[in-house]
Amino acid sequence: MKRLKIKEVLAGGQVGQQVLVKGWVRTKRGSKNVNFIALNDGSTIHNLQIVADVEKFGEELLKEINTSTSLAITGELVESQGSGQAVELNASDIIIYGKADPEKYPIQPKKHSLEFLRENAHLRFRTATFSAVFRIRHAMAFAIHKYFNDKGFYYLHTPIITASDAEGAGQMFRVSTLPAVNPPSTEEGDVDFAQDFFGRPTNLTVSGQLEGELGATALGEIYTFGPTFRAENSNTTRHLAEFWMIEPEMAFYELTDNMDLAEEFLKYLIEYALENCLDDLKFLSNRLQQEEKDKPADQRSMELIEKLQFVRDNDFVRCTYTEAIDILKNSKPYKKGKFQFPVEWGIDLQSEHERYLVEKHFQKPVILINYPKDIKAFYMKQNDDGKTVAAMDVLFPQIGEIIGGSQREENYDKLVARMEEMDIPAEEMWWYLDTRRFGTVPHAGFGLGFERFILFVTGMGNIRDVIAFPRTPKNAEF
RNA sequence: UCCCUAGUAGCUCAGUUGGUUAGAGCGGCGGACUGUUAAUCCGUAGGUCGUAGGUUCAAGUCCUACCUGGGGAGCCA
């Protein structure tokens, strides 16, 4: 008999049909005559209720079935006598693949803290919460490829190992095959990277953008989607040492086109989640509502699905940096001295400022544009005012900056001048500058932090809970 | 990296101004139960109180250092 996924059984199974299912036990309940096994195979948040007659299978066999025991079950699909489900499987044959000793198996049929499950990240997929999160994560990855493919973008694989460290996006992880103890040294006493694998210092990438621009200025529209690495000692709910980033880069796009794309893209993904992941979203939403009950009324946030619909259905606010500074200066917290950091044209906005703009003032996603050039990267297009660059940051409630992007400086002379001002060695970037020397065009792009976006869609609070195997300072377990 | 906070049973926690034998719920185990919904009822086992020092007649409780977790900040996606 062909095995069916539980999702298929629940969606299309017919009463009276003989079916074979395989999965892991979530819970088992029982009385003298009959046992109920909630079986899950990962295909859906929902379990299939297995009814096992005690007399038929014997207490010996049923005793071996505990939480997380793996089973194959054949039986007849019947209308459920209980009220919790429409159909259930009347077992005629049970095969145990692997037992799970209930005294040693750490995931109990009860509510666990996310911290505890994080320490058991190898088994947390077996919980309803994490299976929901990772199904949604998959769906979003798939939707990203679908969105760009349908729009004629090409998926470009930029390198993981890179020799360029010019962008200054953060501390990098060195990639080396030199011995850690007594590496070969030069006459000056420095490590002699000429003897290293690549013959020069190399690192894990912090961004595929610069290589992405090479692709975009020939293929037209490209995107990257891959792992990115930052060796910053960041210990927050929003940072990882290894995370995934989506970086589209488009020839002939100016800043407004870039904003339009970012907004359409995010809304497409949210719509995709609402269309394809509703069961998982409902589960996560209920979970959140349970937690919200304990909070005072004014601290409760919008229900998850409502929040997603709200973002999908409303225009993002577009606001210049200069306007944002004015808004902040006229704000209540500013006038009452509630901000910890000063507000002045030229400063980088602190998260307290961003949160005020997004959560209090506008109360919807905000795209901030035209930042002072001194707080942004060298490659951003210099505006005519001589003070600002064509940068854009998309800010989301709770999460903060979810997208950072810009129109790029396409003028060779301006770009080189800016690199000199910022002490970026132009000779090492010769390959990047060639895009401006030969057939340069206006172009733009942005980077979306994948995990930050998944935080938003799932409503989870800690970025370590939306990536399968989080890499953070002092933690590379599993 | 900085600030705050926590570490007691498998999990979530309580443990009074330092004072006898460290408790509960859940989970586990044993039993009961005519179909349960993270079942219910009865019973039962389970602890080097994060680690190392120190103060004291006496430390889970006070002090110091370190380790680990959580929250916030910075950096950023």
Asked whether residue A259 carries a pLDDT value surpassing 70, the answer given is yes
State which residue has its Cα closest to the C1' atom of B28.
A103
Asked whether residue A455 carries a pLDDT value surpassing 80, the answer given is yes
∠ at Cα A454 (A449, A455), nearest 5°?
Answer: 100
Asked whether residue A168 carries a pLDDT value surpassing 90, the answer given is no
Count of residues making up chain A: 478
CB proximity A115–strand B (7 Å threshold): yes
Proportion of chain A above pLDDT 70, given as a percent? 97
- Mean pLDDT calculated for residue range A409-423: 94
Domains of chain A, first to last:
6-109 (2.40.50.140), 126-171+206-465 (3.30.930.10)
pLDDT of residue A289: 87
Q: Which nucleotides of B are covered by protein (CB under 7 A)?
A: 1-2, 10-13, 26-30, 32-39, 67-77
CB proximity A27–strand B (7 Å threshold): yes
How does residue A295 score in pLDDT terms, banded at 50, 70 and 90?
A: low
Give this prediction's pTM: 0.95
Residue partners of A184: CB distance under 8 A and separation at least 6: A178, A191, A192, A195
pLDDT digits (tens, 9 = 90+) for A423-454: 888 888 999 999 999 999 999 999 999 999 99
Protein-to-nucleotide distance from the CA of A354 to the C1' of B73, whole angstroms: 14
Say what the ipTM of the complex is: 0.91
Residue A67 burial (CB count, 10 A): 18
Q: Cα separation of A326 and A339, whole Å? A: 15
Phi first, then psi, for residue A81 (nearest 5°) are -80, -25
